[in-house]
Structure 1
Amino acid sequence: MTQAASAALAPPRPASTWTGWGQWLALVTMTVDHLARYVVPERWGLGWADASLGRIAFPLFAAMVAWHGLFNTRNPLGYARRILVIGLVAQLPYMLMPRATDGLILNICFTLSLGLTGGTWLQALRERLARGALGGPRLAAEAGLAVAVWAAVGPWVEYGHLGLLMIPLYMVAMQALHGAGDGLGERLAATAMALPLLMVAGLMNSSDMAKSFTVATSLAVLLLAAGAHGTIPRVPLAMPRRLWLAWYPGHFAAIAVLLLILGQADFP
């Protein structure tokens, strides 16, 4: 089958209106998480916010990056580089946060950028295998290198090895669910492709509450990929692009200044 014929048979690109809502929800839940973790005194008893609302942000960010990388951009590696630039800008204010662990940890943008890079490689690998354009030795070499990079980078990024898997698994599941036909067999096969993502989402946290919020967020996005995307209206107030790009490093800088003013700073 030619590339043009394959494109003609592919399902239409899904609606992305849900990401307008997702942007606001991700920023709000991330900010609640960081305020509860770094600013609010423990005696206030708001740890539940970190273990509940705070567990929505990362799977939602990962889902939006995977969705745009899979459906909305012709250059996902360029998209990954743009996320990396935000991560570089955010790293210094991120390092000013009081950390529970010692050592250098790269912020979530590095996790998202590397995850998208891995997911893009995986999608290209599947296409080459389908065309018969990849021999066994080359496949083994590429897979071995990918695993080695994943193992080496995992301890240095936020959310670790499991976090790096989220975007590649999202992309596999989204593509399967969106492309599945109406037959029972196809739908069951697509559902099976989503199970690894839900398993990783459940393993990312220790408490039952945190697991529940992370898995529920991931499941909601998978339902969107399965067809619910068409039911979501546009957000009344679109996220300003500059706010979206600046909030991650900016809110860390604001928290650092606030801690200094309150005399609660305990920076490394």
Structure 2
Amino acid sequence: MTEAASAPLAPARPRPASTWTGWGQWLALITMTIDHLARYVVPESWGLDWADASLGRIAFPLFAAMVAWHGLFNTRNPLRYARRILVIGLVAQLPYMLMPRAADGLLLNICFTLSLGLTGGTWLQALRGRLEGGTLGGPRLAAEAGLAVAIWAAAGLWVEYSHLGLLMIPLYMVAMQNLHGAGDGLGERLAATAMALPVLMVAGLMNSSDMAKSFTVATCLVILLLAAGAHRLAPGVPFAMPRRLWLGWYPGHFAAIALWLWLAGGLA
């Protein structure tokens, strides 16, 4: 769900190093898989619910962070990037719907959340530029903002992680841009830190248990520290993830779980 670096979208400073995303890809896939195995495959009698509420809560904020990072710093066309994520979501939707989630009804998988979130974040970044350039009048601003809120309110009813999940990427992008672009002055640093607080608040609201909140917020905090300058400290990953594995794992692992559940039901 990442795209090769092309050109920075907005930041005034040189774009930050993206070395950390090599580690992020492995961690995101591993924690996501642990989450889904604990939720759908492992019997409840094994007592592994803690894995879903701890390690499993790392995956989504990490996926959202990598999409926001690449959408902001590394891709020439964020909307094309969003469409590519959407294609993965369309491929994954059928096996995703085969998971035991009857209580959720029809729900669109996380790729739809990420794609829509990146689209919203891209619009927000462009809106900021137009406001600073004085090219956006009040009526047009009100109309665009009203339409964006309406789309967010409607889409949040159908996607995984709901309304709060849709806010993660736009808020990440705002926080990352401000943290990366802040100068050395205390006032600038404090202002940038203030712009990072909303994404941490949303991350805390996304889960109910204290353990889940802690893992989600801690993941977001690490990402924000990377945007603030810690990205320079990340070493290269020893084994880069193959592109086909990265693109195919999400739909593929759902298909494998669905097959296992079907076989297990048939053997029971």
| Cα separation, 1, equivalents of 2:258 and 2:152 | 31
**Residue number among 12, 20, 23 corresponding to 2:22 in the alignment:** 20
Q: Which residue of 2 aligns with 1:206?
A: 208
| Cα separation, 2, equivalents of 1:10 and 1:209 | 38
Q: Which residue of 2 aligns with 1:4?
A: none
Distance 1:181 1:102, change over 3 A: closer
Q: Which residue of 2 aligns with 1:128?
A: 130
> Structure 1 residues 100-109 or 65-74, which shifts more?
100-109
For residue 101 of structure 1, give the secondary structure of its aligned residue in structure 2.
helix
For residue 257 of structure 2, give the secondary structure of its aligned residue in structure 1.
helix
Within a 5 Å distance, the mapping from 1:68-107 to structure 2 comes to: 68-99=70-101, 101-107=103-109
The alignment covers a number of residue pairs equal to: 259
Shift of 1:100: 5.0
Q: Which residue of 2 aligns with 1:152?
A: 154
**Residue number among 35, 47, 50 corresponding to 2:49 in the alignment:** 47
**Residue number among 229, 232, 244 corresponding to 1:230 in the alignment:** 232
Shift of 1:149: 0.3
Q: Which residue of 1 aligns with 2:144?
A: 142
| Kept after mapping to 1: 8 A contact 2:61/2:219 | yes
Corresponding letter in the other structure for 1:79: Y
| Kept after mapping to 1: 8 A contact 2:88/2:111 | yes
- Cα RMSD (Å) of the superposition? 1.4
TM-score, with normalisation over the residues of structure 2? 0.95
| Cα separation, 1, equivalents of 2:37 and 2:11 | 48
Shift of 1:8: 11
Superposed CA offset, 1:203-248 (max 9, x none): 0000000000000000000000000000001100000000000000
Shift of 1:102: 3.8
Q: Which residue of 2 aligns with 1:248?
A: 250
Superposed CA offset, 1:68-125 (max 9, x none): 0000001000000000000000000000000052421000000000000000000000
| Cα separation, 1, equivalents of 2:219 and 2:10 | 32
Corresponding letter in the other structure for 1:18: W
Corresponding letter in the other structure for 2:162: G
> Structure 1 residues 9-18 or 64-73, which shifts more?
9-18
Q: Percent identity?
A: 86
For residue 169 of structure 1, give the secondary structure of its aligned residue in structure 2.
helix
The runs of at least 4 aligned residues of structure 1 exceeding 6 Å deviation read none
Shift of 1:263: 1.5
| Cα separation, 1, equivalents of 2:155 and 2:233 | 39
Distance 1:140 1:92, change over 3 A: same
**Residue number among 9, 12, 17 corresponding to 1:10 in the alignment:** 12
Corresponding letter in the other structure for 1:164: L
For residue 97 of structure 1, give the secondary structure of its aligned residue in structure 2.
coil
Q: Which residue of 1 aligns with 2:221?
A: 219
TM-score, with normalisation over the residues of structure 1? 0.95
| Cα separation, 2, equivalents of 1:52 and 1:65 | 22
